[in-house]
């Protein structure tokens, strides 16, 4: 299966710790997106890349969040000094045009 792969699937961390998630997109896809989903809500856009360039960032992405996509392949999303409000499902998606193909997400729990 060559779908979008996200690791880890689950992450439990203590408030104040840093966490990093990884996303491996579908290989021929040039666009990569990060979304966040909380209970009862739809996915909310965080940021997206076209190849290695980060083209848009949501105002939801505070200074504690940083995303990279070196060499236009996999991407990482880092959250520094985690807060309980960061607890959510973090979804990665990739595309070449439309539609977006999503991974199964990383569920973050901040205790």
Partner 1 sequence: DQQVKQNSPSLSVQEGRISILNCDYTNSMFDYFLWYKKYPAEGPTFLISISSIKDKNEDGRFTVFLNKSAKHLSLHIVPSQPGDSAVYFCAAIDQGGSEKLVFGKGTKLTVNP
Nearest distance from residue 99's CB to partner 1, in Å?
Answer: 4
Nearest by Cα to 47 from 64, 68, 27 = 68
Shortest approach of partner 1 to residue 23 CB, angstroms? Answer: 11
In the complex, which residues of this chain contact partner 1 (CB under 8 A)?
4, 31, 33, 40-45, 48, 50, 55-56, 58, 91, 93, 98-105
Bond prior to 59 in cis (omega within 30° of 0): no
Least CB distance to partner 1 at residue 81 (A) = 26
Q: How far apart are CA 50 and CA 48, in angstroms?
A: 7
């Amino acid at each position: 299966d060559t779908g979008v792969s996200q690791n880890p699937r689950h992450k439990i961390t203590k408030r104040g710790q840093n966490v990093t998630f990884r996303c491996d997109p579908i290989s021929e896809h040039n666009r990569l997106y990060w979304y966040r989903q909380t209970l009862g809500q739809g996915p909310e856009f965080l940021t997206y890349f076209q190849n290695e360039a980060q083209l848009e960032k949501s105002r939801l992405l505070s200074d504690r969040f940083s995303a990279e996509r070196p060499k236009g392949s996999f991407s990482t999303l880092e959250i520094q000094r985690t807060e309980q409000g960061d607890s959510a499902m973090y979804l990665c998606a990739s595309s070449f045009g439309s539609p977006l193909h999503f991974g199964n997400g990383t569920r973050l729990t901040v205790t």
